[in-house]
Amino acid sequence: MAVAISSSSLISSAWQATLQHYNNRFNLKDYPIPCHSNPICNSFNFKRRPFSSKFNDHVLVNPSSSSMLSPIPTHFSSSPGCGCSWIQDNSMAHDYAASYGDSTKCLALPTSKTVDVSSVSDLFEFICSGPLVDKIGITPERVGQSIDKWLLFGSQLCRLFQLNELNLTIPQKTRLYHYYIPVFIWCEDQIALHNSKFKDGDDVPPLVIGFSAPQGCGKTTLVFALDYLFKTTKRKSATVSIDDFYLTAEGQTELRDKNPGNALLEYRGNSGSHDLQLSVETLESLTKLTKEGIKMKVPRYDKSAYSGRGDRADSSTWPEVEGPLTVVLFEGWMLGFKPLPADVVKAVDPQLEIVNKNLEAYYDAWDKYIDAWVVIKIQDPSYVYRWRLQAEIAMRQAGKAGMSDEEVNDFVSRYLPAYKAYLPTLYAEGPSGSDPDRVLAIDIDEERNPILAN
């Protein structure tokens, strides 16, 4: 349940503790260290007012102030090919994205209704009102004690996505402080729990976190943001998607020929269209990257090959990762799906029977390697159609070849039977073999923002 700031004495006392903590950390009263040497002060350009006991006297300079440092430029024209207005071709995000791979699947955030992040106290209240704070155990006291980290993470993500951190839109502010940063803090807690199980001097394998979420809901952008935050905090991470394990074009043709007339296996996507041996080899190798100097290349898939039918990318283009890894972020639309009785899947769609049979091999190839889970839940699988249509319209508007509305409907229809069959069990029971205490379930709305579950 969201915290009611105005009426909560708990928040008030937590905020008094925050004032003391924050002054202790940065000693803003006397400025013993130049503000430009402090990444947080430099990012937010703190301005000191005459002394007062109110914490919100430590304010952020209003964007209209002449003494404000030049804000990060924010341009809202659509980036070609991704339908995203907040990652720009001339930004550091573009450079980072180039090394990330297929990172252009990002979310379009509306740019109306801007809200100034005018004081740290405003931000504190906004953070504590988020739908995930109770779920992941973030108390007001804990937010207060770590407000410097929230500020730093927010500043870093604004730079990544080329947002004006002093004049965020309401959806942007929500996406960063109610979603991405809370999930990152949860991931940090999971890493700490994982590392506590090993003794000093042990080779600690990276924690593997699985992200199960329907297509188009923003999981790739979430993982993109988390990966960036891990790297900016000097921890080595690797990202991998189930898409990276698709069969080669030749293998996909063989699968289609073996299942004539089955629309669910005509193209890549459903269980049976992945190279499970490559999955095992990759995940095994990633979990062994525990020492400095050990390197490996991570597979990638080229969805544009063969006129969109796709093929495995040439190994010379695969990104290289180096140990010791702290975390592996593994994402996919069908991670955690469990096989169901044949009569159940046939009632959804008779073509699912072979797909369901193929799914039996997936736990040993994927899910058993995952230590902690983020499950992003949607209320209606039909959201996928709308999200895909938005992306294709944006591509067409940007002058790129995009699917027609009819083609989008055909594309999504090949995934909907699996969603209808497997999502209820995933949401009710959790992923295959998962520890309920290490599963973060996030309900999102049609705008891809977290909401309180019913």
> 119 versus 179: which is more confidently predicted?
179
Sorted by sequence, the CB contacts under 8 Å of residue 380 that are 6+ apart come out as none
Identify which has the larger pLDDT, 425 or 395.
425
- The pTM of this model reads 0.78
pLDDT for 90: 34
Give CA separation, 18 vs 22, 45, 143, 200, in Å.
6, 19, 8, 33
Q: So what's the pLDDT on residue 342?
A: 96
Cβ-based neighbour number of residue 303 at 10 Å = 14
Map tokens 């980290």 to a residue: 149
Does residue 285 sit within a domain?
yes
- Cα gap 294→288, rounded to integer Å: 9
In a domain, 281, yes or no: yes
- At 60 the pLDDT is 33
pLDDT score of 1 more than 60: no
Give 453's pLDDT tier (boundaries 50, 70, 90).
low
Per-residue pLDDT, averaged over 434-442, amounts to 95
Specify the higher pLDDT residue, 238 or 13: 238
The answer to whether residues 139 and 276 belong to one domain is: no
The predicted model gives 153-163 an average pLDDT of 96
Q: Mark whether 377 and 434 lie in a shared domain.
A: yes
Residues 126 and 222 in one domain: no
355, 232: one domain = yes
Is residue 240 domain-shared with residue 127, that is, in the same domain? no
350 Cβ partners below 8 Å, 6+ apart?
A: none
**Mind listing the pLDDT tens digit for each residue in 367-377?**
999 999 999 99
Give the percent of the chain with pLDDT over 90.
Answer: 61
Q: Say if CB 327 and CB 230 are below 8 A apart.
A: yes
**Quick one: average pLDDT of 193-206?**
94
CATH number, domain with residue 277: 3.40.50.300
Q: Round the average pLDDT of the chain to a whole number and report it.
A: 79
- CA pair distance 55, 18, nearest whole angstrom: 9
The pLDDT, as a whole number, for residue 403 is 76
Give residue 13's pLDDT.
53
Q: How far apart are CA 450 and CA 375, in angstroms?
A: 12
Bridge partner residues of 207 (DSSP): 327
Residues 126 and 262 in one domain: no
Residue 103: inside a domain: no
For the ranges 6-15, 59-68, 355-364, 444-453, the one whose mean pLDDT is highest: 355-364
Helix 147-161 crosses helix 120-128 at what angle (to 10 degrees)? 90
pLDDT of res. 401:
72
Specify whether 152 is located in the same domain as 275.
Answer: no
pLDDT at residue 329, rounded to an integer: 98
- What is the Cα–Cα distance from 230 to 209, expressed in whole angstroms? 13
Distance (Å, whole) CA 42 – CA 59: 13
User: Percent of the chain, pLDDT > 70?
Assistant: 74
Average pLDDT over residues 115-138: 83
Residue 373 in any domain: the answer is yes
The arithmetic mean of pLDDT across residues 21-32, rounded, is: 38
Do both 211 and 164 map to the same domain?
no
The pLDDT of residue 278 is above 50: yes
Residue holding tokens 């996919």?
A: 332
pLDDT at 429 over 80: yes
**Which one-letter amino acid corresponds to residue 447?**
E
Inter-residue contact 285 to 298 (CB < 8 Å): no
pLDDT for residue 144 is more than 50: yes
Q: Which of 60-74, 128-142, 292-306 has the lowest mean pLDDT?
A: 60-74
Lowest mean pLDDT among 51-55, 82-86, 150-154: 51-55
Rg of the chain over Cα atoms, rounded to whole angstroms, equals: 23
209/163 same-domain check: no
Supply angle C-alpha 383, 386, 389, rounded to 5: 145
Phi and psi angles of residue 339, each rounded to the nearest 5 degrees, phi first: -60, 145
Domain boundary among 162, 178, 194: 178
Mean pLDDT calculated for residue range 383-411? 84
Give the model's confidence band at 16: pLDDT under 50 very low, under 70 low, under 90 confident, else very high: low
Nearest Cα neighbor of 80 from 63, 97, 68 is: 97
Instruction: Specify whether 284 is located in the same domain as 375.
Output: yes
3-class SS letters over the chain: CCCCHHHCHHHHHHHHHHHHHHHHHHCCCCCCCCHHHCHHHHHHCEEECCCCCCHHHEEECCCCCCCCCCCCCCCCCCECCCCECCCCCCCHHHHHHHHHCCCCCCCCCCCCCEECCCEHHHHHHHHHCCCCCCCCCCCHHHHHHCHHHHHHHHHHHHHHHCCCCCCEEHHHHHHHHHHHHHHHHHHHHHHHHHHCCCCCCCCCCCEEEEEECCCCCCHHHHHHHHHHHHHHCCCCEEEEEHHHHECCHHHHHHHHHHCCCCHHHCCCCCCCCECHHHHHHHHHHHHCCCCCCCEEECCCEECCCHHHCCEECCHHHCCEEECCCCEEEEEECCCCCCCCCHHHHHHHCCCHHHHHHHHCCHHHHCHHHCCEEEEEECCCCCHHHHHHHHHHHHHHHCCCCCCCHHHHHHHHHCCHHHHHHHHHHHHHHCCCCCCHHHEEEEEECCCCCECCCC
For residues 298 and 390, the model is more confident at 298
Residue 60 to residue 43: CA distance in whole angstroms: 10
- Claim to verify: residue 317 and residue 353 sit in the same structural domain: yes
Q: Which domain holds residue 409?
A: 202-444
DSSP bridge partners of 211 = 331, 374
Mean pLDDT of the region 421-446: 95
From CA 343, how far away is CA 354, in angstroms rounded? 12
Q: pLDDT, tens digit, for every residue of 212-240?
A: 999 999 999 999 999 999 999 999 999 99
**Residue 92 within a domain:** no
Q: Cα–Cα distance between 83 and 79 in angstroms, integer?
A: 6
pLDDT at 79: 32
Alpha carbon distances (Å) from 317 to 98, 321, 403: 11, 13, 27
Q: Please say if the pLDDT value at position 19 is more than 70.
A: no
450 lies in a domain? no
**Residue 216, domain member (yes or no):** yes
More confident position, 61 or 389: 389
Tokens coding 321: 């990762």
**Do 342 and 206 share a domain, yes or no?**
yes
Count up the domains in the chain and report the number. 2
CB 274 within 8 A of CB 299: no
